[in-house]
Every structure is written in C-alpha cells, then in structure tokens.
Homo-oligomer: A and B are copies of this chain.
Amino acid sequence: MSAEATVLAYWAACEARDWERFGTLLADDMVYDLPQTRERIHGRAAYLRFNQEYPGDWHVSVVRAVGDGRRAATLITVTVDGTPTPATTFFDLDESGLIQAITDFWPEPYDPPAGREHLVQRY
C-alpha cells in the first residue's frame, strides 16, 4: 500500500469509527505530536483511546493528500457539531508501511495584518 493510500485509509477508518482497522495502520510505538499545544501521545493504545474519546459529533473529509515513499501529508476538513475547521497532518511511515509518527496542526482563523490590502482579496 502506498503512503497516500495508507493515510487515506487512516482517515476513512477514523470517519467510520472503525477502530480495529484504524489500529492496524499504526505502529505499536507510534507518536502523535501536537506542536501548538506541546502535547505528545506515545503508543498505539493511548492514541486509539484519544481518538475514541474525542468529544463532539465530528466528521472528517479529506481535501488533499500527498504521499511519497515513507512520507505523507493531508489537508482535511473536520466538522465538529456543524462547524468546519481545517487540519493539516504530516505522517511518517516505518519500514513496513505502518504509521510511526503523526504531526498535527489545527490552524484557527485570525485577522489579517494591515499593510497588504493592495495585494489581497478577501472572501
């Protein structure tokens, strides 16, 4: 399975709450990293529980995916209780194609800085 197929399967299993399938894609000693909150989760068991316990009525749809060799990245839209928000995720796979490391970002809306109005359009 290619790196792109692996991360597409990861998100599909996540959306389906198919935790058995989801778990088969993860290395035992995988690490999940959230640089924005400086949180880290070690190991498949804890990471499975983190996802299973994640609050809210959330849904995932993949906007973009790219993979090559043992690296992949996705842009997804996560809709939580009706509110869509983007998330960007970088994946490292181990030699057997299992997900070894996930680095996840949750970018929030912000007001654009002044001084570039002559170059940009708002939407």
Contact = CB atoms under 8 A, between A and B. Distances in A.
Interface string A58-72: 000000101110011
Contacts of A50: 116, 119-120
Chain A interface size range: 35 or more
Q: Which of A67, A106, A107, A115 has its CB near the most chain B CB atoms (within 10 A)?
A: A107
A121 interface: yes
A109 B3 CA distance: 29
B120 A40 contact: yes
B37 A110 contact: yes
Nearest to A104: B107
23 contacts: A4-B68, A36-B107, A36-B109, A37-B110, A37-B111, A37-B112, A37-B122, A39-B112, A39-B116, A39-B122, A40-B123, A41-B120, A41-B121, A49-B119, A53-B119, A64-B73, A73-B88, A73-B90, A86-B105, A88-B90, A105-B105, A106-B110, A107-B107
Interface of A: 3-4, 34-42, 46-47, 49-50, 53, 55, 64, 66-68, 71-73, 75, 86, 88, 90, 103, 105-112, 115-116, 119-123
